A and B are shown apart, each in its own frame.
Chain A
Amino acid sequence: MIETRQRLGLVTGGSLLDGLEMKLDPGVSTEALRAGQYVVVEGQDHIFYTMITDVRLQSASPSIPIRPPADGDDLLRQVLAGEWTYVTLHLRPLLQLPLVGETDVDSAQVKTVPAHFAAAQRASEDDVSRVFGQQSARDRFHVGAPLDMDTPVCLNLSRFVERSNGIFGKTGTGKTFLTRLVLAGLCHKLPGEVVTLTFDMHNEYGGSARQEGSDRHVPGLKQLFGEQVAVMTLDEESSRRRGAPIDEVVQLAYDDIEPGDIIAMRGELGLSEAGCDTLSLLEGHFGDRWLWQLLHGDPEELVERIGGHLGAVLAARRKLARLAGKDFKRFLHPKLEGSARRAVDTLVKRLAERKQHVVLEFGQVTSLLSYLLVANVVTRKLYAEWVRRAEEFHASLRPQDKPPHLVICVEEAHKFLNPEAARQTSFGQIARELRKYFVSLLIVDQRPSGIDDEILSQLGTRITAQLNDDRDIAAVLAGTTGSAGLRVVLAGLDSKQQALIFGHAVPMPVVLKTRTYNDELFGEIGRIKADVEGTMSAGPDPWG
């Protein structure tokens, strides 16, 4: 290594299971250390990358904390410092690389620990870039830098899309920003191979969006990637008002909806089990006209036809009457004709054939129920389409038949993936069945504890901003080794522009200060500022 590292101390104990214990050299301030920082331990043949997960104040005699030095007794304090009162760090080993020779960081799992008194040093920029570097590689995308460093940390996007992933964080911590960054990375680095569909509940991804806490606007995916991205909307009026660069309007008809879509949100609707049975009975008799019949048919006649109970039919009708409400009227119609009829098919086609990334804006369709319904319906259709295409590809094995990898980005994920809904919706299936059909999820949520454990444990890469609730923290860390250490790191994140990334797409967990939307990013994407600016709607100068 060319750059010299700062020595922190030496390893005094530990185990593979519990991590390493190191004694801090006297003179190194504890205040210069932080949970989540990297420390490298140089053994005889290997260099161990570790992360600080705990800092402990120790004293050699039990009397010292009982009768501490008096105020102003500086001599005693200084005499004690280092030998009688000292600091130990708990280090979690993350990677083990040979000291010399080529390294494959993806297969550098820790298999042992260094010997006693191995020197522990603060990781240098060179160390970090050895692990996270290769920004120029085809599928690596720079998402930020470790705290206190400028070395780029790159996500391995090929690995990222192989599994479903999660972006978590409480409100206002930059989930949307992180999501936009990851989507931009997928658009930029893997065009044609990966397509994304974003259910954009708050109209933040397609067109320019205001940055939280400021008047700055940041360009959306459409402005950054032009034709590569299609913005579709459920609420044309709202999108036009905002000057969003929309490509198409998506409308749904009653016959697009299956009972399964409704049953998946029975909790939100307050639908009883009998109600769910009624919907299935209706579909059995009326096919895709079941919803129209339920909402507009004569209940007594319906009971006669399907043989259910009048009370159940009336209850179901009452609950589902919300689908004819004001919010739904913007996009859900009893019947659609012509091109509007095929809007969802067009969406599928754009993704599957034109290999465009699609952002589906909700405009002023703000109710959670509409979001759930649309996401359920569209995802079900997409899933069916991808399963069909994947099966065709598996039969023919012709590269041209291989469907692009689809990443479905969904906010408020705990509404789709709570233990009850996860069993019923396509989202649950996608999250579980992984890459078999080339579909994975990008879950964005502020309440990960609401998501089914089984699905959380299947997540490949987790990107998490600050979380406060213990249950949420435990949920994010479920199924990861050494989660106690990461819990400390996670609790220490700032509420802005910081995130912990761990899992499949990074060689080791990393605390990031996230990359900013700046000229360098646009330069990398190949768009210059003026180009992007030209496509943005009028508004305050986004460039400050």
Chain B
Amino acid sequence: MLYTAAMADYVGEVVLSSTTRLTAQCPDDDATPALGSFVTVDYGPGRAVAVVAEVRSGSLDPGRRPVAFGLSEEELFRQQPQLRELLSTEFEAILVGWSEGDGPARQLLPPRPPRLHRFVSPAEPDDVRTVTEGGDWLRTLLAAEASDDLLAAAVRASLATRPDDHTARLHAGRALARLVGDDYERLQVLLRRVAQ
């Protein structure tokens, strides 16, 4: 095993990737990353940082749609244990940062897409801080058509890594203001969600 450290707390395995997005399958439902949270994927060497943009669960086989059984979750899996193997949860993440070696991650896109089957784990707070310094990362999210809810969730996640909540919130608010330009309504909505 090459990536034991990453495996220890991994939240997904890359099943689809590009230089702007990746899709990862979660090992189990309990390890699903939160919307807007930061994850990292190892390139060995280098690592990319991404923001979880969507999480979805469904059938592994696109041709077979799950049907309702009318049982509690516990009872269902007792009666139909094979279901665990047929269902999966996966998430999509937008790439926002890159580090070529061991140094801090920066607001850059990786030069290549993450390799398939690499493990995705929660990002280190230091990486989140360096990637979200200033407001440029928000522009990357916006270019990837992130919704306002995602923007707010990502900003909240970035703030959680910083000690001085108020100043950081102000800086993030200003970055959002610059981002949405003249759309004052939208700014108000975003700030309300950030403040929640």
Chain A residues within 8 Å of B, Cβ to Cβ: 60-61, 63-64, 67, 69, 73, 75-76, 78-80, 83-84
Contacts and interface: CB of A to CB of B under 8 A. Distances in A.
Interface stretch (B24-32, B101-109, B173-181): B173-181
Given A83-B174, A84-B177, A63 B195 contact: no
B67 to A, nearest CB: 47
Contact of B170 (A64, A73, A79): A79
A61 B184 contact: yes
A75 B169 contact: yes
5 contacts: A63-B184, A63-B185, A75-B173, A83-B174, A84-B177
Contacts of A75: 169-170, 173, 191, 194-195
A83 B185 contact: no
A314 B38 CA distance: 107
Interface residues of B, number: 15
Contact of B188 (A60, A67, A78, A83): A67
B173 A61 contact: no
A76 B191 contact: yes
Contacts of A76: 173, 187-188, 191
B188 A61 contact: no
Main secondary structure of the interface of B (DSSP, over half): helix
A75 B177 CA distance: 12
A70 to B, nearest CB: 9
A502 B1 CA distance: 87
Given A79-B174, A83-B177, A64 B184 contact: yes
A78 B170 contact: yes
Nearest to A64: B184
A20 to B, nearest CB: 27
A80 B177 contact: yes
Contacts of A63: 182, 184-185
Contacts of A61: 182, 184
A80 to B, nearest CB: 7
A69 B177 CA distance: 14
Contacts of A67: 184-185, 188
Contacts of B187: 76, 79
Most buried by B among A61, A69, A76, A84: A76
Nearest to A59: B184
Given A67-B185, A79-B177, A80-B177, 20 more contacts: A60-B182, A63-B182, A64-B184, A67-B184, A67-B188, A69-B188, A73-B191, A75-B170, A75-B173, A75-B191, A76-B173, A76-B187, A78-B173, A79-B173, A79-B174, A79-B187, A79-B191, A83-B177, A83-B178, A84-B184
Contacts of A64: 184
Contacts of B182: 60-61, 63
A292 B166 CA distance: 91
A80 B184 CA distance: 10
A61 B183 CA distance: 8
A377 to B, nearest CB: 73
